[in-house]
Structure 1
Amino acid sequence: MDILEFASELFVRMGPNEQAWAATMMKYLKACGHEFATADSLRWRFANALSHYQVLVCLINAEMAKIIDSFPGPPTYPVLDETTPIPFRNYTNMHNSVGHVQDGPSIYLQSWCPLCFGGSHTSGLGVSTIACIDANFQIKCNSTEMMEDDRAVPGEDDAVEPGMNVPNLVLDTCGNSFIAADGDRIKASTQQFDDTRLMALLCHHDIALYVANMRTAGEKQFYAFAPIVALFKELPEWWTVGILYDIACQIH
């Protein structure tokens, strides 16, 4: 099963070639003293096994998608005002308003990942669940004001240099984007983009549970604490969470 999984991942990233794979394996095994009686026996068996394995993976993914799609979303609560008769008012506190129950995660977490938060919560690693957190400094969201200002600039920016197919405005904006993307140029970056970096907390199924917009330079500690605190608010007090972070020593 491990070999089939490896081959499936390999063939996603390079041209599938079952014949070359089988020939390589047969040559390697022959050097180790294991020779096949029939030349193509491994190739046929490998091709059939890989085909059945990939079909099985597709069936599992489809079944999991069906389970997740059928999972109920966050609960809705009645709108209360002064006109609601007192005997018929439904009162909720902060503990229940997020769908939090005493013996399990909140509806919010269950709706995002039923595998992590919707079933039995046992783990051989001594924790109730595992999450990872990290910053991404490559994601950019163009500044709306910058775009509007660019569109409003008349005159020289509309000119086209000889031999070029785009106006000067486009070339200048492209050049500025390289400066803005430079992490050492904070002012230029925030002028060019509304968002320049994000901190995200994911469950171990790669589902983003919380995403924070980092508004300052560097990977400050509070950007890591914020999503962790938000996660704990949606979990029972008795849960233990394993957090993976590349600089976890800074927030130990």
Structure 2
Amino acid sequence: MDILEFASELFVHMGPNERAWAATMTKYLKARGHEFATADSLRQRFANALSYYQVLVRLVNTEMAKIIDSFHEMTPIPFQNYTNTHNSVGHVQDGPSIYLQSRCPLCFGGSHTSRLGVSTIACIDANFQIKRNPTEMTEDDRAVPGEDDAVEPGMNVPNSVLDTCGDSFVAADGDRVEASAQWFDDTGLMALLCRHDIALYVANMRTAGEKQFYAFALVTALFKELPEWWTVGILYDIACQIH
């Protein structure tokens, strides 16, 4: 079981190659006096065992999700009283949304008190290694926002300010050569994770650099799933830029 768990985790971080794994193990064991009756027996058994193991892991995770969902239906989770009865921004009132509770029950289920003075902690960062090649796009897909300088919901700055940051803002290591928007439809991903490294929201980046509005979009999406009385600690390597 330990070997199967190790192999499953290994194949998440590298291209899965059961044949190479089996060939290495066969040669390693043969040098120590352990030989198989047929040349391909270890690979076949290992591939079957790994497949069954991964199915069992998914079944366990599904069963755990059912238990969590049934708990929400049977037992109301005690939350602090919601302080703003005139909720007009789409925030949930009693506590974190079912979506957030299902993503991480430790962060968003049960009572929420912290010695740090916040209800929960999240972090944001970008990954420029995950790109998407160009696809056929229609004119509607390429349409740009209008010139109406309105203030976006939940923001304290007009669109013109957000547009300006798109031209001037890059990550602190902006001198590094990033994927060019000229060659890729999606130049990378930016994700917002909880403190247990579970991805809560992911945004496709379509610019050559790490722009402010991606972080704004992720934080706004998170706030819409939380009560307004929650205080969230955000960790971001260039958080000073979006203070």
Normalising by structure 2, we get a TM-score of 0.47
* Higher share in helix: 1
Higher relative contact order (CA 8 A, sep 6+): 2
Mark the structure with the bigger radius of gyration.
1
